[in-house]
């Protein structure tokens, strides 16, 4: 079981994750309307790029945009969750030792206590995000089973990873459960809202370009829109 999960299944899930997310990004760009979007973006590449970078970075800063400032509770929980969700798996020593053995490359590793703290924070903040979806009517009305699935797929590798790490009960069991849930996450990403891992950057960049060129970004500079 372990050999299968860390052998063929590992390669398959990594390939689906990378190729699938790449595919989603390509189709986002191909879905742009040539009359409404491309004509303006092609003509003003510098203004567009400036708007794109500004929009992506502003939204990555806590309280950096009005959208973040009007919902302070959501903002704090969101950033606590995503700090763990992004940093813990990428810079985890155990993952990088594994990647080194598989691919011959690895990234720097976080100190153990920091990785543990980030993983634990991700679980707590993730549960608060789930609670928010149930508790607030304005969010509940936008929620369906797929949003629950995405939260479950995101939280399962963190919960099982921590249970394995702290050797709670049967280590072999939690490690296998962890790898299965991690691979399920990787495979599901391109087909669910988890594709926001790349589409966040695509849509923010596009909206940033739009505001940088059209919608007032080039007011008085000869731009017809
Ligand atoms: C794809 C295959 C994966 C493999 C083979 C794998 C392997 C491992 C291993 C060996 C550990 C260490 C357990 C120990 O300390 O003994 C671990 C821990 C962990 N993994 Fe993964 N993992 C995978 C995917 C993921 C994914 C997709 C995520 C998150 C989205 C994730 C998050 C974590 C976390 C949070 C921990 C525990 C962190 C801590 O030390 O406190 N893993 N993983
Ligand atoms: C750099 C990569 C990422 C970026 C920029 C990003 C950004 C975002 C944004 C903007 C939202 C929407 C927040 C809102 O409702 O206003 C979101 C939601 C979410 N993200 Fe990410 N994300 C990233 C990576 C990840 C990863 C790796 C995971 C899982 C391990 C994840 C899991 C989630 C979940 C579960 C939600 C929905 C939370 C809810 O139900 O309210 N994200 N993300």
Contact residues for 88 (Cβ-Cβ < 8 A; gap 6+) = 110, 115, 118, 119, 122, 158
Residue nearest to atom 9 of ligand 1 (CA): 94
Q: Ligand 1 centre and the CA of 179: distance in Å?
A: 7
CA within 13 Å, CB half, 47: 18
Dist. CA 175–CA 10, nearest whole Å: 14
- Residue 225: predicted pLDDT: 64
- Ligand at minimal distance from the CA of 89 is 1
DSSP 107: -
**207, exposed or middle or buried, with CB in 10 Å at 0-12, 13-18, 19+?**
middle
* Contact in structure between 188 and 194 (CB atoms under 8 Å): yes
DSSP 224: -
Q: What is the value of pTM for the model shown?
A: 0.93
DSSP 5-61: HHTHHHHHHHHHHHHHHHHHHHHHHHTS-IIIIIHHHHH-HHHHHHHHHHHHHHHHS
Indicate the domain borders of the chain.
Answer: 1-65+180-217
* Contact in structure between 202 and 28 (CB atoms under 8 Å): yes
CA 63 to chain centre: 18
- Residue 60: predicted pLDDT: 96
- Residue 21: phi and psi, rounded to 5, are -70, -35
- Residue 104: phi and psi, rounded to 5, are 75, 10
- In this structure, the residues whose C-beta lies within 6 A of any atom of ligand 1 are 6, 10, 13, 88-89, 92, 94-95, 98, 115-116, 119, 157-158, 161-162, 164-165, 178-179, 182-183, 185-186
Dist. CA 195–CA 187, nearest whole Å: 11
Residue nearest to atom 4 of ligand 1 (CA): 179
Residues of the chain with pLDDT under 70: 224-225
- In this structure, the residues whose C-beta lies within 6 A of any atom of ligand 2 are 78, 82, 85-86, 129, 133, 147, 150-151, 154, 196-197, 200
- Residue 107: predicted pLDDT: 95
CA 66 to chain centre: 21
1: number of Cβ within 10 Å: 10
């Amino acid at each position: 079981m372990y050999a299968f999960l860390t052998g063929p299944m590992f390669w398959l899930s990594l390939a689906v994750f990378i190729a699938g997310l790449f595919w989603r990004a390509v189709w986002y760009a191909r879905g742009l309307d040539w009359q409404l979007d491309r004509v303006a973006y092609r003509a003003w590449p510098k203004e567009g790029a400036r708007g794109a970078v500004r929009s992506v970075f502003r939204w990555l800063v806590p309280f950096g945009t009005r959208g973040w400032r009007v919902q302070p509770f959501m903002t704090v929980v969101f950033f606590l969750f995503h700090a763990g969700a992004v940093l813990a798996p990428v810079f985890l020593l155990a993952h990088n030792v594994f990647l080194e053995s598989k691919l011959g490359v690895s990234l720097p590793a976080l100190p153990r206590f920091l990785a543990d703290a980030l993983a634990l924070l991700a679980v707590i903040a993730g549960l608060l995000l789930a609670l928010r979806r149930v508790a607030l009517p304005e969010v509940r009305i936008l929620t369906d089973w797929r949003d629950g699935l995405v939260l479950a797929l995101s939280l399962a590798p963190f919960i099982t990873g921590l249970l394995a790490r702290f050797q709670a009960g049967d280590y072999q069991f939690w490690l296998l459960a962890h790898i299965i849930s991690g691979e399920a996450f990787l495979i599901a990403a391109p087909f669910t809202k988890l594709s926001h891992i790349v589409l966040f950057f695509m849509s923010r960049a596009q909206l940033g370009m739009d505001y940088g060129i059209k919608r007032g970004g080039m007011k008085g500079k000869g731009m017809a829109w």
